[in-house]
Amino acid sequence: MSADRGHRHSDQPIPSLPHDLSPPHRGSLPTSPSSHTPSARPATDPVPPVVSQLVFDVVLQPALSSLLASHPADVVDELRTSFAVSETTNPGISYLLVAALIETQTNDKSILLAESLLRLSREVSLQESATPELANVFSKAQALKDILSRIPEEINERSRFLNTIKDIASAIRDVLDAINETLKLYGGEELASRRKVVEDHKKDFVKYSKKFSDTLKLYFKDLRVHNVYSSSIRLTAQINQILNALRLMTP
């Protein structure tokens, strides 16, 4: 994006977001990740298990399923079980494996993997497993995941990205409202322990929403695309955690 183009949108209002998600000022957006200075290279952080699980779901699972066309089902199932057990016993290994494979092809493995995960995350849908009672929250959650997956396509277009931030704000509110309404349907003591799990995941979802807010604020100062991608992925992964926990509440 040229400087002139950035100034052309400089008077556009910044959308109001939940958890104080609004950007701090109206600085121009980067034209591409390659425009970053070397100091803006992403730091190496521990891989959250929920993020590695997302890698397993959106990268490894589809890859394994594609093998069914040319390999015996029992062989593929054995591989799938081995990967699943490895991820359970060594959280983060799925992420590290895929990152290592990408590293053999590019020096920008962090940005490439983060961007790919965001784009692919919309493909992981649990809606088909939702009961009628859970249909609304599953639908709202999928809508939020779809919006987050658009970030790589829109982050370099200021006007579009500001609209996307606005859409994310609305979708976060919708998901929280839907979760609260759904929990009202499961008030019995027999479900108290499972309801507590959902409540805990909801707290984590709020926490990651606030971290996403902080990341956006920093992005409008330091223009680190990778940090926005990573924060979006963690939020997406937490959505999946909530949906899985809700699904376990139903008979």
pLDDT digits (tens, 9 = 90+) for 199-230: 999 999 999 999 999 999 899 888 888 889 98
Q: How confident is the model at residue 22 (pLDDT cuts 50, 70, 90)?
A: very low
User: What is the DSSP track for 198-246?
Assistant: HHHHHHHHHHHHHHHHHHHHHHHHH--HHHHHHHHHHHHHHHHHHHHHH
pLDDT at 124: 65
pLDDT at 109: 54
Q: Compute the distance between CA of residue 100 and CA of residue 109 in angstroms, rounded to an integer.
A: 8
pLDDT at 94: 78
Q: How confident is the model at residue 43 (pLDDT cuts 50, 70, 90)?
A: very low
pLDDT at 28: 40
CA dihedral (152, 155, 161, 167) in degrees, to 10, reads: 30
Tens of pLDDT along 136-193? 898 999 899 999 999 999 998 888 998 999 999 999 999 999 999 888 887 777 778 8
Kindly tell me if the per-residue pLDDT of 10 is higher than 80: no
Q: How confident is the model at residue 11 (pLDDT cuts 50, 70, 90)?
A: very low
Kindly tell me if the per-residue pLDDT of 106 is higher than 50: yes
Of residues 220, 211, 224, the one with CA closest to residue 42: 224
* Residue 110 in tokens: 């962090």
pLDDT at 200: 92
Contact at 8 Å (CB) between 106 and 112? yes
pLDDT at 26: 41
pLDDT at 17: 54
- From residue 84, alpha-carbon distances to 53, 63, 225 in Å are 9, 14, 30
